[in-house]
Amino acid sequence: MMRSMYSAVSGLRVHQTKMDVIANNIANVNTVGFKSSRATFAEVFSQTISGASASNPITGRGGVNPRQIGLGATVASIDLLITQGAAQRTDNPFDIMISGDGFFIVGDSSGTYFTRAGAMNLDKAGNLVITNGMHVRGWTAVDDPLNPGEQIIDKGAVSDIVIGPDKQYAQPTATKNVSFAGNLNYTEDTTIKRTMSFYDSIGTRYVVGCTFEFDDASGGWTYTLDDFAYPNGDTDNPIDLTLSANSTGTITFNEDALPTGPLIDPADPNSAGIVIDIALPADKQPASTLGDNGRITIDFSDLTQFDNETSTVKGEMLDGNGPGTLNGIAVGSDGKIVGRYSNGDTKILAQIAVARFQNAAGLQKMGNNLFVTTANSGDFDGIGEEVQAGGGEMQGGVLEMSNVDLSAEFTEMITTQRGFQANSRVITTSDDMLQELVNLKR
């Protein structure tokens, strides 16, 4: 009689535990990156009244199954459900969602932690942090030794991502290539004046004039580059330039297509670009240098000579920039943080790394949406990996919502309530039976 009561008590306890799990899931239905849990039950030890016996041909009797009385239920597991949550659009570039598996790597002096909650921001010092102030970790960008001016990611051990003072400015780069493109119409004007610009290594912008004159005899155009320039467009203070001999020359179009031929004669060496050596005055050097060792390539291969169009020729820089300040940051699908600068330059600043585990459900919750490794989750190697290595991606301006399914939780709540209610009825019924037993001696 007493066994039924204790079995029912164990039933009450496990259903209380399950209700606690359900309540925690529902409480976190709007928690960013929350991973719900579930409770499963198992029966506990059963008392064996009699064991099983095999059939006996001597007695002519068949086999008998064991007779056992169960002693209640226990909580078999509380499982962490690592399923993808829905996306919530925020348009904040530092709200980041991982599509696929993997965890953001965060930490402080107390150690390394992992989270799916991608609500991040930059603090005053330029540290990329999550809402509780822990640093987001990944890899920093370094200069590419094979491509000066470009950045690559150094995928060593992860470290705190810092968009510090050294990343707030973009260094100027000297111009190496200028292109003249557009139409030259000799029937409209046989002398066309245009300008071209280029930067030196310290970010000074020079404006230089270029004159195109049509030559009736050759049917081509003579270009002449001015031997003076206006620094930063200051027409009141021109500086003298030292130019190589090919600062003047001839552009010849295909004779078979004249006078409307759109192509420069492929045999003309000018069609591949003209390398002009430009030297600055002595007082500008050596702090300021130009182009590729003082050489600037001017490409005329995109010019045309249509007589039914106006002269639209224009000189454009193909590279080179003045100094710039950081005015925007974006996070790519590969986790790379790219800075946009006021001079039009873009630079890779860092890359957010992720950690993956053999058994992510084996991670241990630590509160604040944080997890730590356990003996059953797998270890973190300290390096991490790219999010795309596992077929996932990062989405900026989006947060991962809780993966709690309210319809499922309410259904579980109903069955849990009924299970608790049924077990309580077992106790009251057992109590009534005990009362009847006591009342036998009236």
Q: What is the DSSP letter of 287?
A: T
Mean pLDDT value of segment 155-167: 91
For all residues of the chain together, what is the average pLDDT?
88
- 52-66, 103-117, 244-258: range with lowest mean pLDDT: 244-258
**pLDDT of residue 27 exceeding 60:** yes
CA distance 390 to 100: 8
**Beta 177-183 vs 295-304: how paired, if at all?**
parallel
Structure tokens at 199: 């930067």
Tens-place pLDDT, residues 319-339: 888 889 998 889 999 999 999
Tens-place pLDDT, residues 374-391: 999 999 999 999 999 888
- Band the pLDDT of 221: cuts 50, 70, 90: confident
In this predicted structure, what is the pLDDT of residue 368? 93
Q: Which residues contact 238 (CB under 8 A, 6 or more apart)?
A: 228, 229, 230
Mean pLDDT value of segment 84-92: 93
Strand partners, 13: none
In this predicted structure, what is the pLDDT of residue 262? 44
- Residue predicted with more confidence, 224 or 219: 224
Tens-place pLDDT, residues 350-365: 999 999 999 999 999 9
pTM surpassing 0.85?
Answer: no
User: CB of 153 within 8 A of CB of 274?
Assistant: no
In this predicted structure, what is the pLDDT of residue 173? 86
Each domain of the chain, given as residue ranges in start order, spans 2-50+66-82+402-441, 87-171+325-400, 177-317
CA distance 230 to 408: 73
In this predicted structure, what is the pLDDT of residue 269? 46
**pLDDT of residue 130 exceeding 90:** yes
